[in-house]
């Protein structure tokens, strides 16, 4: 099966590597242009060799450069591709969907991956994802799709956070009036492992325990690769390493940190005037509402051969030489 993975960050690499191990013909789509190279133009199609991304070529990845603002570039690249897995978002992803339609691609998976679709209207990037999902629903007779949902990446809680892990460069939140807030560094979400601090929404508005699902990015890659072998996809494929009460999440971190108790931090919603603080609060409220939790993990059920890491295993390995 010919598979294209849009993006070249860590998650895209995990998916691409795992898909190749499953025997698929797979390549990555990149917007990267090396300043020392002059890619040739051919009827709007821009192509470059792996020399453009030598660090990826050294790892064995095949990379094709595309211009998401140029439909001809995308269309020509996707001819003959069966399945596209996206790790890019916003306008490039919408352009990718349109080109999948013109190139007769059979299946598409959007850059979804963490929360449960249609349950996060408040945060800006959540609304953008809803636009993508609505577009896929409009064209579902022509383009099969699924949302791969994995809960929270363990990599948020490692040294350097999500950005240093390579899974993602992080998230830029569009805000007013200050413009933009970067989210993705170490300790920016729920857990500051290095300094023994935690900020979690422990209880729902009705007083119940808050749960969330968690998964390692490498395990997500293996699940996605295995799901390529399915003839048809359901609307969602949910996977997880663990489903935990957030209070238990804190206890696990304490055990790995060998700390009697992590320091608790609070955010007062009425006093959160800094936009970075507001973005953290919105993300915590999303978890409290259950956007990152699901009872049934149908990908785990269908693919019992995929053995996942527990949070304790992952934290222990990630911090073995740093904490």
Which tens digits make up the pLDDT trace of 59-101? 899 999 999 999 998 999 999 999 999 999 999 999 999 999 9
Instruction: Examine residue 169 and state whether it is found in any structural domain, yes or no.
Output: yes
Partnered with residue 198 across adjacent β-strands are 191, 264
Look up the domain containing 264 and give its range.
Answer: 153-214+242-318
Confidence at residue 259, expressed as pLDDT on a 0 to 100 scale: 81
Instruction: Examine residue 114 and state whether it is found in any structural domain, yes or no.
Output: yes
Q: Based on the fold, state whether residues 130 and 186 are members of the same structural domain.
A: no
Q: State the pairing for strand pair 45-46/41-42.
A: antiparallel
Q: Based on the fold, state whether residues 179 and 286 are members of the same structural domain.
A: yes
pLDDT band (50, 70, 90) for residue 47: very low
Determine the Cα–Cα distance for residues 42 and 24; give it in Å rounded to an integer: 28
The sign of the torsion formed by the CA atoms of 205, 209, 215, 220 equals negative
The whole-chain average pLDDT of the chain stands at 84
What is the reported pTM? Answer: 0.87
Q: Based on the fold, state whether residues 234 and 271 are members of the same structural domain.
A: no
Q: Based on the fold, state whether residues 35 and 144 are members of the same structural domain.
A: yes
Cα of first residue to Cα of last residue in the chain, in angstroms, is 43
Q: Based on the fold, state whether residues 86 and 179 are members of the same structural domain.
A: no
Determine the Cα–Cα distance for residues 224 and 230; give it in Å rounded to an integer: 10
Burial class of residue 285 in the structure, from the number of CB atoms within 10 Å of its CB (0-12 exposed, 13-18 middle, 19+ buried): middle
Q: Based on the fold, state whether residues 123 and 157 are members of the same structural domain.
A: no
Q: Based on the fold, state whether residues 102 and 193 are members of the same structural domain.
A: no
Determine the Cα–Cα distance for residues 202 and 199; give it in Å rounded to an integer: 9
CATH of the domain at 37: 3.40.50.720
Q: Provide the number of structural domains found in the chain.
A: 2
Give the whole-number percent of the chain exceeding pLDDT 90: 63
Q: Based on the fold, state whether residues 141 and 266 are members of the same structural domain.
A: no
Instruction: Examine residue 323 and state whether it is found in any structural domain, yes or no.
Output: no
Checking if the pLDDT of 50 tops 80, the result is: no
Q: Based on the fold, state whether residues 143 and 161 are members of the same structural domain.
A: no
Tell me which of 25-39, 195-209, 265-279 is least confident. 265-279
Note the helical H segments in the chain: 10-21, 54-58, 71-78, 91-102, 124-138, 161-165, 217-227, 246-257, 275-288, 298-302, 311-318
> Which positions ≥6 away from 159 have C-beta within 8 Å?
186, 194, 318, 319, 322
Determine the Cα–Cα distance for residues 260 and 202; give it in Å rounded to an integer: 18
Instruction: Examine residue 135 and state whether it is found in any structural domain, yes or no.
Output: yes
Confidence at residue 241, expressed as pLDDT on a 0 to 100 scale: 98
Q: Based on the fold, state whether residues 162 and 122 are members of the same structural domain.
A: no
DSSP structural state of residue 56:
H
The first and second tokens of residue 251, run together, are: 């206890």
Instruction: Examine residue 280 and state whether it is found in any structural domain, yes or no.
Output: yes
Q: Based on the fold, state whether residues 100 and 136 are members of the same structural domain.
A: yes
Confidence at residue 40, expressed as pLDDT on a 0 to 100 scale: 32
pLDDT in tens, 97-150: 999 999 999 999 999 888 877 555 444 445 556 788 899 999 999 999 999 999
Give the whole-number percent of the chain exceeding pLDDT 70: 79
Instruction: Examine residue 180 and state whether it is found in any structural domain, yes or no.
Output: yes
Confidence at residue 36, expressed as pLDDT on a 0 to 100 scale: 34
The sign of the torsion formed by the CA atoms of 35, 37, 40, 45 equals negative
A 10 A CB-CB count for 135 gives: 17
Q: Based on the fold, state whether residues 284 and 232 are members of the same structural domain.
A: no
Residue 149 near residue 112, CB atoms below 8 Å: yes
């Amino acid at each position: 099966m010919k598979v294209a993975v849009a993006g070249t960050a860590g998650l895209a690499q995990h998916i691409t590597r795992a898909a190749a191990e499953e025997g698929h013909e797979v390549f990555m789509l990149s917007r990267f242009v090396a300043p020392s190279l002059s890619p040739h133009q051919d009827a709007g199609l821009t192509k470059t060799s792996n020399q453009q991304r030598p660090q990826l070529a050294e790892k064995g990845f095949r990379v094709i450069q595309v211009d998401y603002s140029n439909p001809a570039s995308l269309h020509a690249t996707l001819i003959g591709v069966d399945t596209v897995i996206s790790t890019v978002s916003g306008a490039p992803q919408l352009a990718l969907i349109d080109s999948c339609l013109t190139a007769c691609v059979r299946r598409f998976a959007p850059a979804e991956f963490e929360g449960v679709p249609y349950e996060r209207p408040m945060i800006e990037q959540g609304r953008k994802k809803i636009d993508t999902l609505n577009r896929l629903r409009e064209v579902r007779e022509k383009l099969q799709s699924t949302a791969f949902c994995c809960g929270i990446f363990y990599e948020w809680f490692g040294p350097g956070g999500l950005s240093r892990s390579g899974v993602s460069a992080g998230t830029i939140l569009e805000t007013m009036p200050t413009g933009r807030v970067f989210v993705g560094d170490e300790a920016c979400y729920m857990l500051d492992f290095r300094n023994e601090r935690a900020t979690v929404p422990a209880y729902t508005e009705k007083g119940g325990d808050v749960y969330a699902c968690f998964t390692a990015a490498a395990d997500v890659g293996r699940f996605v690769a295995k799901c390529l072998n399915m003839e048809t996809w359901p609307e969602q494929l949910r996977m997880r390493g663990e489903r935990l009460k957030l209070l238990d999440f804190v206890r696990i971190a304490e055990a790995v940190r060998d700390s009697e108790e992590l320091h608790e931090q609070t955010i007062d919603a009425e006093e959160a005037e800094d936009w970075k603080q507001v973005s953290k609060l919105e993300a915590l409220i999303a978890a409290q509402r259950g956007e990152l939790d699901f009872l049934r993990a149908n990908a785990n059920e269908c693919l019992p051969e995929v053995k996942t890491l527990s949070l304790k295993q992952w934290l222990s390995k990630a911090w073995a030489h740093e904490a």
